[in-house]
Amino acid sequence: MKKKTSRFAKIIKIFLISLGCFFILLCVLAFTTLPFWAYYSLGTTNSKISKAPSTIIMLGGAGIPSGDGLIRSYYTASLAKANPEANVIIAMPGDITDSLSAPRLVEQELRIRGLNPHSISFEHTGSNTREQAQKIAAKKTTAQLQKPVTLVTSPEHMKRAVLAFRKCGFTSVSGLPTFEYALEAADLTFRDSNLKGNKMAPPIGNNLQFRYQFWNHLKYEIIVMREYFGLAYYKLRGWI
């Protein structure tokens, strides 16, 4: 019994040490640009728009109002205005008979931004990217599946979304990743002495890397790791 307890304690110790080393590695990488470029790569791989889309598909994110939902609506409206002949499909689960449901609120947001309501339709029954691609493809003829389609979704989700739609029969799929943009020409540094307060903490007014970049890159690392797991799962299931 004591031998089994000792072996179990050793396994736990190795696990905790490995976990600590992994966390330290993530912290070190957060001081580099690698997390951003991994995130950027997910958003731009296989997503270049080379043909004007005949259909624009906005893939639902975290609902609306939300930062994710609003930025996807913004990009969708911008792309639709640049391609007025394109149809827009809102792929988001919800009850479209309810004017306050997420798909209908997105529709309202697109109409506020100038889109013709007659160009907007819904795919509101699919609960994930694979199912949404299947259901949209099922409503298309063979000729329609060959027409250019552009997906609007978050950068980390773009690669998986494009591959999933191609797997379901769409032959010309591109993407518009919803990258956020930093403040332009904004000086975010400050003089710590001007703000007074307790001087026990070190001054960080001029250290933008620690104040913003480090934490943003930690966030990118989590997002990228989650998406790699998603890509691996889709690959194992044969969905991409």
* 174 DSSP β-pair partners: 150
Distance CA 143, CA 140 (A): 8
Q: How many CB atoms lie within 10 A of CB 240?
A: 22
Distance CA 226, CA 179 (A): 18
| H and E: helices and strands count for the chain | 10, 5
Residue 149: its H or E element: strand 149-153
Domain range summary for the chain, segments of one domain joined by +: 42-177
Q: Which residue has the tokens 């997002």?
A: 223
In tens, the pLDDT along 2-55 reads: 566 777 788 888 888 898 998 899 888 888 889 999 999 999 987 888 899 999
Average pLDDT over residues 48-77: 90
pLDDT at 191 over 70: no
Please give the pLDDT value at position 59. Answer: 94
pLDDT digits (tens, 9 = 90+) for 94-145: 999 998 999 999 999 999 999 998 999 999 998 899 999 999 999 999 999 9
In CATH terms, 42-177 corresponds, of 3.30.70.20, 3.30.70.980, 1.10.3720.10, 3.40.50.620, to 3.40.50.620
Residue 204 to residues 192, 207, 208, 237, Cα–Cα distance (Å) = 7, 5, 8, 48
* Dihedral of alpha carbons 183, 185, 190, 194, sign: negative
The Cα 127–Cα 92 span in angstroms is: 8
- H-type alpha helices, 174-213: 192-195, 208
Both tokens of 114, joined, read: 């100038």
Give pTM, 2 decimals: 0.85
> What per-residue confidence (pLDDT) applies to 67?
85
pLDDT reported for residue 152? 96
